[in-house]
Amino acid sequence: MDHMETKKNVERPLAFVKHIILIMSGKGGVGKSTVAVHLALRLKNAGFKVIRGVRTVRAKIRYLGITEGIGNILVGLLDADLCGPSIPTMLNIEQKKSKFSKNWEPVFVDMEQRLCVMSVGFLLTNRNDAIILRGPKKNATIKQFLNDVDWPDLDYLIIDMPPGTSDEHISVIENLREYNLDGALLITTPQAVATGDVRRELSFCKKTVIPIIGIVENMSGFVCPYCQECTNIFSKGGGEFLANQLEVPFLGRIPICPQISRYQDGHAESLKLFSQTNEADSIEAIVKKLVK
Partner 1 sequence: MALTVCSRSFINRSRFSSLVYSYFNKNIVQMLPPCQAASNSTKDADQSRMQRGLPKKLPIGGVDQVIVVASGKGGVGKSTTAVNLALSLKELDKTKLVGILDADVYGPSIPKMMNLKGPVHLNKQQLMMPLVNYDIKCMSMGFLIEDEKDPIVWRGLMVMSAIQRLLRQVSWGPLDYLVVDMPPGTGDVQLTMSQNIPIDGAVIVTTPQDVALLDARKGTEMFRKVEVPVLGVVQNMSAYECPKCGHTEHIFGKDGATNLAKEMNLPIIGDIPLHIKIRETSDSGAPIIVSHPNSSQAQAFKDLGRNVLQRLKVLKDQAKNK
Pick the closer one to partner 1 by CB: 76 or 255.
Answer: 255
Instruction: Decide: 123 and 1 in contact? Cβ < 8 Å.
Output: yes
- Using the rule CB under 8 A, is 191 a contact of partner 1? yes
Instruction: State how far the Cα of 66 lies from the Cα of 60, in Å rounded to an integer.
Output: 9
Instruction: State how far the Cα of 251 lies from the Cα of 278, in Å rounded to an integer.
Output: 16
- Using the rule CB under 8 A, is 129 a contact of partner 1? yes
In the set 186, 256, 283, 287, which binds partner 1 (CB under 8 A)? 256
* Binding segment (CB under 8 A) for partner 1, from list 13-21, 49-57, 258-266, 283-291: 258-266
3-state SS assignment for residue 2: coil
**Integer angstrom CA distances of residue 223 from 178, 218, 228, 233:** 44, 14, 5, 10
Sign of CA dihedral 78, 254, 26, 246: positive
Rg (CA), the chain: 19
Pick the closer one to partner 1 by CB: 50 or 224.
Answer: 224
Strands 50-51 and 212-217: unpaired
Strands 181-188 and 19-24: parallel
* Binding segment (CB under 8 A) for partner 1, from list 52-60, 82-90, 270-278, 279-287: 82-90
Pick the closer one to partner 1 by CB: 47 or 258.
Answer: 258
In the set 50, 111, 209, 227, which binds partner 1 (CB under 8 A)? 227
- Using the rule CB under 8 A, is 224 a contact of partner 1? yes
Pick the closer one to partner 1 by CB: 49 or 199.
Answer: 199
The single-letter code of the amino acid at 150 is D
For the bound state, the minimum distance from the C-beta of residue 34 to partner 1, rounded and expressed in Å, comes to 8
- Using the rule CB under 8 A, is 111 a contact of partner 1? no
Instruction: State how far the Cα of 138 lies from the Cα of 275, in Å rounded to an integer.
Output: 36
Pick the closer one to partner 1 by CB: 162 or 252.
Answer: 162
Instruction: State how far the Cα of 80 lies from the Cα of 215, in Å rounded to an integer.
Output: 20
- Using the rule CB under 8 A, is 217 a contact of partner 1? no
Q: Which residues bind partner 1 (CB under 8 A)?
A: 26-30, 33, 83-84, 86, 89-90, 127-136, 138-139, 162-167, 169-170, 189, 191-194, 196-197, 199-201, 203-204, 207, 222, 224-227, 229, 231-235, 256, 258, 261-262, 264-266
